[in-house]
Amino acid sequence: MTETELLGYFDEHVYYEWLMLNYAKQCLEGAADPLVWNAMFAAFNVSARNLENFLTNKGNSTRMRVLDYEPFRKDARNISNQPIRTTLEQLNAQCLHLGKKRFTEPDKKINRDRIEKMSAWVVSNMDDLLKGFKDDFRAKLNWASLVAQHKAAGVVGPPKFPTSSSFSSILATGPTSVGQVKE
């Protein structure tokens, strides 16, 4: 893919998954209705898995992976899903497949703590990815589109995007560091 195509894909699809992950997580934090919680749980899990697959280069050349952005990165490190592997296994068993390993015991199901760990892992690794882009490539990403999507979705509060500081800081200086998550 060309640089223009990769930028377009990131702006349209990667940012969308990021937005949906954060919006669903926010809805989960305040959901009182079990059906709303389940719907947002499913949305969170789909976006979390899509971003995990993207970040860890899962799939073949027909799927988008961080590897596709290698010419525009300062680093070429591989991202490990080891810190969230148990959570991923639970997501697959509980939500993403109608498998025989679906749990009924509450202590084996995905809970808010696991959702938080998954979210923190994604945010941390997206932050590292954005920091790893070459400056000229990162400058071409459509940050305004991400902010507009955030506002259009009605997400309350500041965007929970790849940073532990304010989004305006990212716009001015690029992504900042977020600590790694341990499971």
- CB neighbours (10 Å) of residue 60? 6
In a domain, 180, yes or no: no
Dihedral of CA 72/77/78/83: which sign?
negative
Whether the Cβ atoms of residue 73 and residue 132 lie closer than 8 Å to each other: yes
DSSP 50-118: HHHHHHTT-S-TTS--GGGGGGGBS--PPPP-GGGHHHHHHHIIIIIS--TT---SGGGS--HHHHHHH
73, part of any domain = yes
CA distance 50 to 99: 19
Q: How confident is the model at residue 10, as a pLDDT?
A: 92
178 domain residue, yes or no = no
Three-state DSSP class for 159?
Answer: coil
Domains contained in the chain, number:
1
Angle at the Cα of 135 from the Cα atoms of 131 and 140, rounded to 5 degrees: 105
Residue partners of 29: CB distance under 8 A and separation at least 6 = 112
Using one digit for the tens of pLDDT, what is the confidence trace for 56-68?
A: 998 888 899 999 9
Structure tokens at 156: 């309350």
61 burial type by CB count under 10 A (0-12 exposed, 13-18 middle, 19+ buried): exposed
Segment 150-157 mean pLDDT: 54
Q: Is residue 181 part of a domain?
A: no
- Domain interval for residue 30: 3-173
Q: How far, in Å, CA of 175 to CA of 164, rounded?
A: 9
Q: What is the pTM for the complete model shown?
A: 0.77
107 within a domain of the structure (yes/no): yes
Per-residue pLDDT tens over the stretch 91-131: 777 776 677 777 777 777 778 888 899 999 998 888 888 88
14-28 tens-digit pLDDT = 988 988 898 899 888
Q: What's the mean pLDDT when you consider all of the chain?
A: 77
